[in-house]
C-alpha cells in the first residue's frame, strides 16, 4: 500500500522551488529536483505502486502548472517556431525516436517541452477555432476516460459508458424536439464523420440495396448543400461514391443563408436531367458566417420532393440549449438527422460529436455486419445494448464521459448560461467595431451566432478607391496581422477568403474564459500590428 507523503516530488513550480523533496527509498533525486524512477520500476513491476504513483504525480504537477498558466493572461498563447526549427531540436527537445529507451527524467522533460512549444487552446485570448477553452470538469473527465482505457463497442467492456451514451443521446433528441426523445444516434470521431453518417443513412433509407449491390444499383443520386456549408458534405459525397459533381451547391443570401427558392429550382432541374434528389443538408451555424439556414422552409421542400433532411448543427447545435437562441434552429425537429458537436459551442474537450437519427433501426440496418467474435447473440445480458455494430468503426473511443460529467456538473442550465454569455460577448464585439474607423463588416446586421466577420483596413488603404489594387492589398492584411500575432504569441484569430471576398477575420467565441477585456485586447492588437501595413 502506498502512503502519501509530504512533498510528493514534483518539480518545484516556477515561483517556488522546494529545497528538500522527499523521495521514496529506491527513488533518487536528480539535479533538477525530480524524484526519478526507472521505467522498469513502474507497474506492472513488483512493488511498482509507489514509483508509479510518484511518476504520475510528477506528470500531474506539470499538467496543473500548464493549466494554471493557460488561464493567466500574462502567459503567451503560443511560442511560435517554424517546422524546421522544431525539427532541428529546440534547446535539446529532440523529436526523433530511437532504439534505446530514454530515462523517465527525460520523459518528464519531453512532456514539459511538448507543452511549451504547443498552442494554449484554452487561453482566454485563443479565438482561432470553433473549439476553444479548457473546461476543468471536462478535463477531469478525459483523465478518467484515459485511465479506464476501454472501448465503446459492447456493454460487456464498457457498461457504464454505453448507458451514459444512450441516456445522453436521448436527452439530446428530446432537446431537438423529437417526441419522447425517440430515435437513434451515436457519438462519432467528429462532425465530418457525423455528417457522413447522415448521407449514408439517407442512402440506406431510400436505396437499401446499395449496401449489398453498390452505388450502381441506384439511379443517379444528387445531394444539396449551401455554398457556405462545411466541406465535410463534399468529402462525404466523394468518399461514399456519389461524386462531388453530384453535390449541388445552393445559393445563399448575403448573410450566408440558403435561399429556399434556389433549392426548389435546383431540385426540379435535377429531376428534369434524370437525377434523383436524395438528400439536403441545412446548416445550423455555418463555419465562417455562423449562418442558420431556414430549416422550416427547407423541410417543406424536402417533404414535397421526398428528400432526406439533415441539419448540420456541428457548430450551431449548442444553441438548442438556450431558450433565448434556440429559435434560430426552428424546424430542426423536422430533420431526419442532426449533427451536433458538444466539443464546439458547449466547450467539451475534443472529440465529442453526435449524429442523431430520427428513425430507429436505420443506423443498425445500414452498418451492421454481425461480427461473431464481438457481437455474440448468446451473452447473458440484453445484447441490444451492444451498439458497436451501428458504427462504421469497430473500436470506438469513449467520447461520452467528459460530456456526461460536464452535464452533471453544470446542469442544462449551466450550458445555457455559457451559450448566452458567448453570444453576448460577440454582440459586444459587433457593436464595438460595426461603426469603428478602419473596420468593415463582411455582412450587415447582427450575426446569428458568435461569428463576427470583418476586415481591418489599415490607414494606408482607407482612402484608396475600391478597385482591384485595394482588394489585392487588403487580401494580404489579415495574413500579415495573423503572422505577427503568432510570432508575438499574444492572441490568435482565424481568417479566410470566402467566394469573391478577400481575406477577412472570422472572430468566434466559445471560450468560457474570454471576457470583454479580451475582446478589447484583440481589437487593440489588430490595430497595433496592422496600423502600418
By CB under 8 A, the residues from 146 to 205 that bind a copy of itself are 146-151, 155-161, 163-164, 167-168, 171, 189-193, 196, 200
Q: Give the SS3 label for residue 503.
A: strand
The reply to whether 410 sits near a copy of itself by the rule CB under 8 A is yes
What three-state secondary structure class fits 12?
coil
- Least distance to a copy of itself from the beta carbon of 275, Å? 11
Judge contact between 406 and 141, C-beta under 8 A.
Answer: yes
Contacts 24+ apart (CB under 8 A), 84-93: 86/117, 90/117, 93/117
Q: Are 393 and 409 contacting, i.e. CB atoms less than 8 angstroms apart?
A: no
Q: Tell the smallest beta-carbon distance from residue 300 to a copy of itself (Å).
A: 28
Query: What's the min distance (Å) between Cβ of 211 and a copy of itself?
Result: 5
Cα–Cα distances in angstroms (integers) from residue 52 to residues 45, 69, 104, 148, 502, in the given order:
9, 26, 11, 16, 54
Binding mask 207-236 for a copy of itself (x = CB under 8 A): ---xxxxxxxx--x---------xxx-xx-
Nearest distance from C-beta of residue 231 to a copy of itself, angstroms: 4
Count of positions (residues) in the chain: 533
Q: Is 472 in the site for a copy of itself (CB under 8 A)?
A: no
Number of residues that bind a copy of itself (CB under 8 A): 175
Q: Which of residues 37-56 bind a copy of itself (CB under 8 A)?
A: 39, 42-44, 48-49, 52-53, 55-56
Q: Cα(142)–Cα(405) distance, rounded to whole angstroms?
A: 10
Provide the minimum distance between the beta carbon of 20 and a copy of itself in the complex, in angstroms, as a whole number: 13
Phi-psi region of 141 (alpha: psi -120 to 50; beta: other; left: phi over 0): alpha
Nearer to a copy of itself, 261 or 394 (CB): 394
Stretch 336-395 residues interacting with a copy of itself (CB under 8 A): 343, 349-351, 353, 366-367, 369, 371-374, 376, 378-382, 385, 392-395
Question: Under rule CB under 8 A, which residues in 7-36 are in contact with a copy of itself?
Answer: 7, 10, 13, 15-16
Contact pattern from residue 252 through residue 291 relative to a copy of itself, giving x for each residue in contact according to CB under 8 A and a dash for the rest: -----------------------------------xx---
Residue 502 C-alpha cell reads as 478577400
Quick one: 390 exposed, middle or buried, by C-beta within 10 A (0-12, 13-18, 19+)? buried
CB 64 within 8 A of CB 117: no
Cβ of residue 201: shortest distance to a copy of itself, in angstroms? Answer: 11
Shortest CB 313 distance to a copy of itself, Å: 15
Strands 353-357, 439-441: pairing kind: unpaired
d(CA 50, CA 227): 58
Rounded distance between C-alpha atoms, residue 207 and residue 85, angstroms: 53
- Please state the closest distance from residue 433 (CB atom) to a copy of itself, in A: 20
Among 259, 276, 409, 533, binds a copy of itself (CB under 8 A): 409
Burial 195-207 (b: 16+ CB within 10 A, else e): bbbbbbbbbbbbb
Can you tell me the distance from the alpha carbon of 160 to that of 151, in angstroms, rounded to the nearest whole number?
Answer: 11
DSSP category for residue 258: B
| Cα separation, 345 vs 319, whole angstroms | 8
User: Could you say whether residue 405 binds a copy of itself (CB under 8 A)?
Assistant: yes
Question: Which of 101-109, 294-302, 327-335, 438-446 is the region at the interface with a copy of itself (rule: CB under 8 A)?
Answer: 101-109
State which of positions 68-87 bind a copy of itself (CB under 8 A): 68, 71, 80-84, 86-87
Nearer to a copy of itself (CB atom), residue 96 or residue 466: 96
Taking alpha carbons only, the member of 231, 280, 268, 224 closest to residue 250 is 224
- Out of 29, 75, 117, 294, the residue judged to bind a copy of itself by CB under 8 A: 117
**Do the beta carbons of residue 494 and residue 442 sit within 8 Å?**
no
**Three cell numbers at 331?**
424546424
Q: Which of 127, 292, 401, 454 binds a copy of itself (CB under 8 A)?
A: 401
If binding is defined by CB under 8 A, does position 242 make contact with a copy of itself? yes
- Which of 17, 26, 28, 144 binds a copy of itself (CB under 8 A)? It is 144
Region of 296-304, 326-334, 396-404, 525-533 interacting with a copy of itself (CB under 8 A): 396-404
Question: In this complex, which beta carbon is closest to a copy of itself, that of residue 210 or of residue 258?
Answer: 210
Q: Given the DSSP bridges, would you call strands 452-456 and 501-507 parallel, antiparallel or unpaired? A: antiparallel
> Which DSSP letter does residue 69 get?
H
- Complex with a copy of itself: residue 169 or 267, whichever CB lies closer: 169
> Least distance in Å: CB of 259 to a copy of itself?
21
Determine contact, residues 175/360, Cβ cutoff 8 Å.
no
Examine residue 96 and tell whether it contacts a copy of itself (CB under 8 A): yes
Residue 131 binds a copy of itself, judged by CB under 8 A: yes
Kindly state the smallest distance separating residue 413's Cβ from a copy of itself, in Å: 5
Q: Which is nearer to a copy of itself, 299 or 346 (CB)?
A: 346
Q: Residue 66, CB half-sphere, CA atoms under 13 Å: how many?
A: 22
Nearer to a copy of itself, 84 or 467 (CB): 84
Whether 195 and 237 have beta carbons less than 8 Å apart is answered as: no
Partners of 247 in the β-ladder = 223
Task: Lay out the site mask for a copy of itself across 489-528 (x = CB under 8 A, - = otherwise).
Answer: ---x-xxxxx----x--x-----xx---------------
Window contacting a copy of itself (CB under 8 A); options: 102-110, 252-260, 422-430, 462-470: 102-110
CA angle 430/432/433 to nearest 5° reads 70
Taking the complex as a whole, the smallest distance from the CB of residue 135 to a copy of itself amounts, in Å, to 9
533 is a contact residue toward a copy of itself (CB under 8 A): no
Partners of residue 106 on adjacent β-strands? none
Q: Taking CB under 8 A as the rule, does residue 245 contact a copy of itself?
A: yes
DSSP 263-314: HHHHHHHHHHTT-EEEEEEEEBS-TTT--B--HHHHHHHHHHTT-EEEEEET
Amino acid at each position: 500500500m502506498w502512503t502519501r507523503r509530504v512533498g510528493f516530488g514534483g518539480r518545484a513550480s516556477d515561483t517556488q522551488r522546494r529545497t528538500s523533496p522527499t523521495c521514496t527509498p529506491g527513488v533518487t533525486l536528480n539535479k533538477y529536483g525530480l524524484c526519478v524512477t526507472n521505467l522498469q520500476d513502474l507497474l506492472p513491476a513488483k512493488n511498482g505502486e509507489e514509483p508509479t504513483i510518484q511518476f504520475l504525480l510528477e506528470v500531474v504537477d506539470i499538467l496543473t502548472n500548464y493549466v494554471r498558466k493557460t488561464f493567466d493572461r500574462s502567459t503567451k498563447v503560443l511560442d511560435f517556431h517554424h517546422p524546421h526549427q522544431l525539427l532541428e531540436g529546440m534547446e535539446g527537445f529532440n523529436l526523433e525516436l530511437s532504439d534505446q529507451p530514454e530515462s523517465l527524467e527525460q520523459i518528464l522533460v519531453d512532456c514539459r517541452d511538448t507543452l511549451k512549444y504547443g498552442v494554449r487552446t484554452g487561453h482566454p485570448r485563443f479565438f482561432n477555432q470553433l473549439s476553444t477553452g479548457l473546461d476543468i470538469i471536462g478535463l477531469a473527465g478525459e483523465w478518467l476516460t484515459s485511465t479506464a482505457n476501454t472501448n465503446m463497442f459492447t456493454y460487456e467492456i464498457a457498461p457504464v459508458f454505453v448507458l451514459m451514451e444512450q441516456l445522453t443521446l436521448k436527452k439530446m433528441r428530446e432537446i431537438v424536439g423529437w417526441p419522447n426523445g425517440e430515435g437513434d444516434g451515436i457519438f462519432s470521431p467528429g462532425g465530418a464523420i457525423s455528417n457522413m453518417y447522415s448521407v449514408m443513412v439517407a442512402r440506406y433509407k431510400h436505396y437499401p440495396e446499395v449496401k449489398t449491390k453498390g452505388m450502381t444499383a441506384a439511379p443517379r443520386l444528387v445531394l444539396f448543400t449551401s455554398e457556405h456549408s462545411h466541406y465535410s458534405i463534399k468529402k462525404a459525397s466523394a468518399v461514399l461514391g456519389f461524386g462531388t459533381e453530384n453535390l449541388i451547391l445552393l445559393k445563399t443570401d448575403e448573410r450566408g443563408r440558403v435561399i429556399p427558392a434556389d433549392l426548389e429550382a435546383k431540385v426540379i432541374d435535377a429531376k428534369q436531367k434524370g437525377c434523383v434528389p436524395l438528400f439536403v443538408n441545412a446548416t445550423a451555424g455555418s463555419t465562417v458566417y455562423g449562418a442558420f439556414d431556414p430549416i422550416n422552409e427547407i423541410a417543406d421542400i424536402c417533404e414535397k420532393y421526398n428528400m432526406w433532411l439533415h441539419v448540420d448543427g456541428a457548430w450551431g447545435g449548442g444553441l438548442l440549449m438556450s431558450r433565448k437562441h434556440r429559435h434560430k434552429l426552428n424546424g430542426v425537429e423536422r430533420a431526419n438527422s442532426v449533427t451536433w458537436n458538444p466539443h464546439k459551442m458547449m466547450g467539451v474537450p475534443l472529440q465529442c460529436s453526435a449524429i442523431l437519427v430520427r428513425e430507429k433501426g436505420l443506423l443498425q440496418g445500414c452498418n451492421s455486419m454481425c461480427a461473431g467474435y464481438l457481437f455474440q447473440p448468446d451473452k447473458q445480458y440484453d445484447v441490444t445494448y451492444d451498439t458497436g455494430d451501428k458504427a462504421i468503426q469497430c473500436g470506438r473511443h469513449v467520447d461520452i464521459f467528459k460530456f456526461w460529467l460536464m452535464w452533471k456538473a453544470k446542469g442544462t442550465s449551466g450550458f445555457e448560461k455559457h451559450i448566452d454569455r458567448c453570444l453576448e460577448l460577440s454582440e459586444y464585439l459587433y457593436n464595438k467595431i460595426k461603426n469603428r474607423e478602419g473596420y468593415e463588416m463582411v455582412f450587415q446586421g447582427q450575426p446569428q451566432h458568435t461569428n463576427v466577420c470583418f476586415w481591418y483596413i489599415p490607414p494606408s488603404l482607407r482612402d484608396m478607391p475600391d478597385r482591384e489594387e485595394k482588394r489585392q492589398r487588403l487580401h494580404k492584411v489579415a495574413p500579415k496581422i495573423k503572422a505577427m500575432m503568432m510570432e508575438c504569441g499574444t492572441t490568435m484569430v482565424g481568417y479566410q477568403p470566402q467566394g469573391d471576398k478577400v481575406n477577412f477575420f472570422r472572430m468566434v467565441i466559445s471560450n468560457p474564459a474570454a471576457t470583454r477585456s479580451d475582446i478589447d485586447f484583440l481589437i487593440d492588437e489588430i490595430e497595433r500590428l496592422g496600423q502600418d501595413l
